[in-house]
Amino acid sequence: MSAAASALDALKRELGELKDFDRIAALLAWDQQVMMPPDGAAGRADQLSTLGRLIHERSTSPELGKLLDVAEPVAAKLDPDSDDARLVKVARREFEREVKVPQDLRAAITRTCSESYPVWVEARQKSDFAAFLPYLEKTLELKRRYIECMAPETEPYDALLDEFEQGMTTAEIRPIFARLKEVLIPLVRAVGSSDAVDDAPLRRQLPVAGLREIEQRALAAAGFDPDAFRLDTTVHPFETAIGISDIRLSTRYEVEGLESLFSSVHEFGHGLYEHQIAPELDSGLLARGASLGWHESQSLLWENLIGRSRPFWQRFAPDLSEIFPDQFGSLGSAEVYALVNKVRPDFIRVEADEATYSLHVIVRFELEQEMLSGELALSDLPSAWNQRMHDYLGVEVPEDRLGVLQDVHWSQGSLGYFPTYSLGHLRASQLWQRIASELPELPEEIARGEFEALREWLRENVHRHGMKFTPAELQERVLGGPIDPEPFISRLREKLAGIYGQALIP
Amino acid sequence: MSAAASALDALKRELGELKDFDRIAALLAWDQQVMMPPDGAAGRADQLSTLGRLIHERSTSPELGKLLDVAEPVAAKLDPDSDDARLVKVARREFEREVKVPQDLRAAITRTCSESYPVWVEARQKSDFAAFLPYLEKTLELKRRYIECMAPETEPYDALLDEFEQGMTTAEIRPIFARLKEVLIPLVRAVGSSDAVDDAPLRRQLPVAGLREIEQRALAAAGFDPDAFRLDTTVHPFETAIGISDIRLSTRYEVEGLESLFSSVHEFGHGLYEHQIAPELDSGLLARGASLGWHESQSLLWENLIGRSRPFWQRFAPDLSEIFPDQFGSLGSAEVYALVNKVRPDFIRVEADEATYSLHVIVRFELEQEMLSGELALSDLPSAWNQRMHDYLGVEVPEDRLGVLQDVHWSQGSLGYFPTYSLGHLRASQLWQRIASELPELPEEIARGEFEALREWLRENVHRHGMKFTPAELQERVLGGPIDPEPFISRLREKLAGIYGQALIP
């Protein structure tokens, strides 16, 4: 073997082992949430912390730095879009990011999160923001130190965004969110109180056996392959990949109406993304989605653009009537379609519909920046939250449990995460526009329950690349330009006009 | 902290991390057998091999050797029975054992096993011993090299035994097995062909829902705590501990009669052993059973001395009649007791009853030694096997699938493992003798489905020590002397006299 090939090989071997350890950690976390008997918690915390230390040591080790130093000149001679050249580039970026943060700061963040989470759980239960406040203060303080290490020269919030959506800037998001507010606030006001759609059939718990049955039929058609996927039940739905051929989804059935179906289809979208990554990337660092915003584009595409589409319900409304004759026996596909797309301004982000969702995100995006800058005193956060919910969504938050305390993210140190949800919505609509033009038969196929052409399109254009490209590079390759809210806005307007009548749409 | 305390602490930290990695490996293996979608196999093999390399490196590292060197003089000043003194002693023993075997030999053994296993699977299926022969030859050759590294001065088979039952010698086992043969061969001949017990109700597949129901009732009474235990379904039943508070059992239902119940109770016995290890040992090397033979004593105690006892069926025969009215509706507890204790000489070890089981083991014990010494040419192994099965059990093996190819052990390089099963039988009876004298109320308690006093006895006398003591030391502490076949023999004779009549018992 040449010296060049061997330099690359040594790096790839180390990155491959790191990938294995990451996946082992993912399995430990999955098992903890899905399978572990409750008394196993303390032991599992030890196992995760031992493994986490190992991963941190090896991903910041001087040896890895040297492997990179030797591999870089070799990679520089390769096609810059080749897997190996990209691997070295991404590995260098991640290495530099890891070593920038001093070990004591990392440890303080980890410790604060693990102290903070149980406090948040109890504070939410009791709707007691004051109990959570000191932990949020501490987290914010650590985040400021983190920003100082990462990118002291840019807008502070950029360093937080970069953790979840590499390269994304506050400056890029701000005008996009301004445009969404301009459109969505009046739109939600206009249709949110309409009684044109009576969604009473969706406002109750449906029998779990039936929910499993409709889900099973939908997922089987979508491409859920039991040789490579599992689906389990958990308190909070999620997806995790233990490898591109070992995809684990979870859902929950103790929810209103068809939420469990949409949730499973959503997680399937995440899972399909990782399942369709090119096999040659599987053993290394690149076998992940390009970013959270790209991941969310895939889950939301399946949940909203497919699962809440007319053709989907042309296919599955008869199944719904058959499975739930009492609840849906008399409803045709057009009626089910209207039901599952009803706009309902409410307090809780995770239950929000397509029209209100981004307004929930924008509330958080704005507050996070004001918290970070010190413009907003943390003790005033609940009232600022409630005021903004009133202004943007027209709802009056009755207690902090349903307001500022609803999300887990801040208790886990995840500031700058929320915008990726909206980026996912916008990208999904941009993708859909291109898909619609390239797969003109797709609506008919979906109405027949056929998803293969769609899966192949997603594989070819998005999934197979894993994280070879940065979020922005992938955006440019697949969508030919930056994130654009207009496809989402026009699709949403058109959809709601079809349901509520053109006259109601501002 | 004093220098002494810190030397011990540094060692304990390293051993604690090694323990975490061992448990992580156990979880990966559990998940592979119980949960993983089949296409995840290749990725899981990578994860296990990466983790295995890490564990091997760290458990043979010069750093660990130095930690031991520094900790030993400190431990020498402690009470020799203290947890810390014992920990250092066991850690030194395991370290020396690990470093004795050169890395290339370990790698060759691992490689040969992973090549050998699928060949054995196919060879068994096709009853084709010739296909497996070269792999068995290779394994034997490597085992000879292994013995050469470990203990060239002792009887060769001792080094193999020592892997599974530390300190046990061939010289100690030989007279025990001679005595068992002397008793069991005529006993099995006498009662094996008797038609006094018609076990037709146990020779068919019972409805799975009912098997789950009787199992659930029995395990709940025995002490299966869902906060710390799981029970799943797999092709081969097993138990694994991810920690003393995270015990995972598996069973299978596609078997004849009540095999699934006995199998679950057996695995529960293994699980209870690890669950009742003292919590202060949980984070370290000592949180394991003392040996395979000790482990098996616990599973067999629950399976045979409880699960196949009169009082157990006084408690559960009514449940059996209620759950399976067609099959057991008319049978009282005495009849069920006789059914589940019928002696049936047959080909397959894992399906053997208490009387025939050790004869299966003795066949293997004798053949393994002859193979190792070269006295028996491997090509003659099938006929030697069949001859011995004829001589000891009176059965004619029709094909190698049901004979020499039935067990997985040799394909995994496990020679010297089989005797631990019989040691388990013998220890279980020795323990039972002591338990009977110390817990005179136990039969009445079991007849009421109460097991707490028994669990506490086992915890206090056996379980809590983990592997603090060597198998022989624990034997001395709990049973006051070496392994003794007589309690097993007299109990078995008495039991079979009760079922078949005294006249039939030689």
- B171-178, long-range: CB within 8 Å, 24+ apart, which pairs? B172/B482, B172/B483, B173/B365, B173/B419, B173/B423, B176/B422, B176/B426, B176/B483, B176/B485, B177/B358, B177/B361, B177/B362, B177/B365, B177/B419, B177/B422
In Å, what is the CA distance from B471 to each residue of A163, B31, B168, B288, B455?
Answer: 53, 30, 8, 12, 20
Q: What are phi and psi of B240, to 5 degrees?
A: -145, 145
Q: Among partner residues A227, A230, A245, which is closest to B43 by beta-carbon distance?
A: A245
Q: Name A297's Cβ contacts closer than 8 Å, sequence gap at least 6.
A: A423, A424, A425, A427, A428, A431
In Å, what is the CA distance from A220 to each residue of A63, A209, A264, A279, A451?
Answer: 46, 16, 12, 22, 10
Amino acid letter for position B238:
F
Q: What is the ipTM of this complex?
A: 0.94
Q: Among partner residues B31, B42, B46, which is closest to A31 by beta-carbon distance?
A: B31
Predicted local distance difference test score (pLDDT) of residue B1 = 58
Q: Do A27 and B31 touch (CB under 8 A)?
A: yes
Query: Is B323 in contact with B258 (CB distance < 8 Å)?
Result: no
pLDDT, tens digit, 9 for 90 and up, residues A109-141: 988 988 999 999 999 999 999 999 999 999 999
- B344 vs B189: CA distance, rounded Å: 10
Catalytic residue list of A: 267
CA dihedral B136, B137, B140, B145 (to 10 degrees): -140
Predicted local distance difference test score (pLDDT) of residue B5 = 79
Residue A279 contacts B, CB cutoff 8 Å: no
CA dihedral A218, A219, A222, A223 (to 10 degrees): -150
Residues of chain B with C-beta less than 8 angstroms from the C-beta of A42: 243, 245
Residues of chain B with C-beta less than 8 angstroms from the C-beta of A239: none
pLDDT, tens digit, 9 for 90 and up, residues B434-456: 999 999 999 999 999 999 999 99
Which candidate, A262, A250, A245, A333, places its Cα nearest to that of A300? A262
Which candidate, A500, A473, A493, A466, places its Cα nearest to that of A184? A493
- A190 vs A76: CA distance, rounded Å: 56
Predicted local distance difference test score (pLDDT) of residue B114 = 86
Tokens of A216: 């099973």
Q: Name B406's Cβ contacts closer than 8 Å, sequence gap at least 6.
A: B124, B347, B348, B349
Query: Is A425 in contact with A358 (CB distance < 8 Å)?
Result: yes
Q: Do B230 and A46 touch (CB under 8 A)?
A: no
Predicted local distance difference test score (pLDDT) of residue A146 = 94
Predicted local distance difference test score (pLDDT) of residue B277 = 98
Predicted local distance difference test score (pLDDT) of residue A323 = 97
Tokens of B278: 């003292």
Which of the residues A13, A35, A56 would you substitute to probe the B interface, choosing the one with the greatest number of B C-beta atoms within 10 Å? A35
Residues of chain A with C-beta less than 8 angstroms from the C-beta of B31: 27, 31
* DSSP 8-state symbol, B307: T
Query: Is B438 in contact with B314 (CB distance < 8 Å)?
Result: no
Residue in the structure block whose two tokens are 């040449």: A2
Residues of chain A with C-beta less than 8 angstroms from the C-beta of B245: 37, 39-40, 42-43
Helix, strand, coil share of chain B (percent; to 5) = 70, 5, 25
Amino acid letter for position B89:
K
- B340 vs B319: CA distance, rounded Å: 15
Q: What is the DSSP string of B108-126?
A: HHHHHHHHHHHHHHHHHHH
- Low-confidence stretches of chain A (pLDDT < 50) are none
Predicted local distance difference test score (pLDDT) of residue B3 = 77
What is the number of other CB atoms lying within 10 angstroms of the CB of residue B12? 21
* DSSP 8-state symbol, B235: S
In chain B, domain spans: 3-164, 201-341+421-467
Predicted local distance difference test score (pLDDT) of residue A1 = 58
CATH topology of domain B201-341+421-467: Neurolysin; domain 3 (1.10.1370)
Residues of chain B with C-beta less than 8 angstroms from the C-beta of A37: 226-230, 245-247
Average pLDDT over residues B236-253: 96
Strand pairing class (A229-233; A246-251): parallel
Residue in the structure block whose two tokens are 């079809």: A498
Residue B29 contacts A, CB cutoff 8 Å: no
- A506 vs A30: CA distance, rounded Å: 45
- A9 vs B421: CA distance, rounded Å: 46
Alpha-carbon gap: A212 to the closest alpha carbon of chain B (Å): 19
Angle at CA B282, nearest 5°, toward B280 and B284? 100
Q: Do B21 and A246 touch (CB under 8 A)?
A: no
Coil, helix or strand for B237? coil
Q: Among partner residues A20, A54, A229, which is closest to B37 by beta-carbon distance?
A: A229
Residue A33 contacts B, CB cutoff 8 Å: no
Predicted local distance difference test score (pLDDT) of residue A2 = 78
Terminal CA-CA length for chain B: 67
Predicted local distance difference test score (pLDDT) of residue A64 = 97
